[in-house]
């Protein structure tokens, strides 16, 4: 494939600083060289400009830095849409998970009938009305389904929105009370850590992919906090009890075998909290697995 890397040093969606350095940390882990080694052609578009929190004022505590996040996501959407039109696989590097809004705006602007595979410790299904923190990185999944503040859900053609029945979440283990209620009623297929532990990752991935039978394209949104913090300590919002690194590789290897993933974002690498860049290195290796690397070629 021809892969176009787009960095988004977004550090506005959460309270903990540092994820703005995620794209650089992943690049430093030899992402481009690794992808070229497995046969892909890679071009790096650089980063979408994002202001730092110190240069802005929080005007709405229920949706912190929302105007700045929306502006950056509009630019990201343009970049992603152009990548798709140019015949490239858009690989978006975060930054916090609020960037998934722009990734999905861009993908669904060009492609219809898109499914979403969302691997995350969190449901990201809050709205300003339900969020205890007002952090927008906890809202992108809801926004993709048309829920939340108008500026997050009305920037694209409503006809391009994702169908909840075409969304699968894996690894979920930390939900706010009102978020839990909304997610349960949404129609989204959720495989919590209970299902992963009970049935095993292979069965969960097989069940997940079966839900995409009616989709023409699948977007993979991978939050590094889906992995247990013992193996991925450098993340924005770590939650104990996650999947192992090997389970993550297996999941992405199985997904790659279907040849149905056509766009991807990877988010929440926080080098400040990391140990010798090990989380960014793991992130790079997982991207390789998602894009076709095998142990025995």
Q: Where are the domains of the chain?
A: 2-290
Q: How far lies 236's CA from each of 56, 138, 229, 232, 245, in Å?
A: 20, 12, 10, 11, 17
For domain 2-290, give the fold.
3.40.800
For residue 95, say if its preceding peptide bond is cis, omega within 30 degrees of 0.
yes
Q: Are residues 91 and 287 in contact, defined by beta-carbon separation less than 8 angstroms? A: yes
d(CA 79, CA 76): 5
d(CA 25, CA 37): 19
Q: What is the pLDDT of residue 159?
A: 61
pTM: 0.97
User: Can you give the pLDDT of all 297 residues of the chain as single tens digits?
Assistant: 999 999 999 999 999 899 999 999 999 999 999 999 999 999 999 999 999 999 999 999 999 999 999 999 999 999 999 999 999 999 999 999 999 999 999 999 999 899 999 999 999 999 999 999 999 999 999 999 999 999 888 766 666 678 999 999 999 999 999 999 999 999 999 999 999 999 999 999 999 999 999 899 999 999 999 999 999 999 999 999 999 999 999 999 999 999 999 999 999 999 999 999 999 999 999 999 999 998 876
Q: How far lies 114's CA from each of 10, 147, 191, 202, 218, in Å?
A: 24, 18, 19, 23, 6
The set of catalytic residues is 97, 120, 122, 124, 137, 223, 225, 268
Contacts of 246 (CB under 8 A, 6+ apart): none
């Amino acid at each position: 494939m021809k892969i176009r890397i787009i960095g988004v040093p977004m550090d506005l969606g959460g309270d903990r600083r540092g994820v703005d350095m995620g794209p650089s940390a992943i690049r430093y882990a030899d992402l481009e060289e690794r992808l070229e080694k497995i046969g892909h052609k890679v071009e790096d578009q650089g980063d979408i400009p994002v202001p730092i929190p110190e240069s802005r004022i929080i005007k709405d505590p229920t949706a912190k830095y929302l105007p700045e996040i929306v502006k950056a996501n509009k630019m990201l959407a343009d970049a992603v849409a152009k990548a798709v039109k140019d015949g490239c696989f858009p690989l978006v590097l975060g930054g916090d998970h609020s960037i998934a809004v722009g990734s999905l705006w861009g993908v669904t602007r060009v492609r219809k009938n898109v499914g979403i595979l969302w691997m995350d410790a969190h449901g990201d299904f809050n709205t300003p009305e339900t969020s205890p923190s007002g952090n927008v990185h906890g809202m992108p999944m809801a926004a993709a389904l048309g829920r939340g503040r108008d500026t997050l859900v009305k920037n694209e053609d409503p006809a391009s929105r994702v169908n909840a029945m075409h969304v699968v979440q894996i690894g979920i283990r930390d939900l706010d009370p009102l978020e839990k209620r909304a997610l349960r009623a949404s129609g989204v297929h959720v495989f919590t850590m209970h299902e992963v532990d009970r049935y095993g990752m292979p069965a969960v991935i097989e069940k997940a992919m079966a839900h995409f039978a009616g989709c023409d394209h699948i977007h993979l949104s991978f939050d590094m906090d889906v992995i247990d913090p013992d193996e991925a300590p450098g993340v924005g919002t770590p939650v104990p009890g996650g999947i192992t690194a090997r389970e993550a590789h297996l999941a992405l290897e199985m997904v790659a075998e279907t040849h149905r993933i056509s766009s991807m974002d990877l988010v929440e690498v926080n080098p400040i909290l990391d140990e010798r860049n090990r989380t960014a290195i793991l992130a790079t290796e997982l991207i390789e697995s998602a894009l076709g690397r095998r142990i025995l070629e």
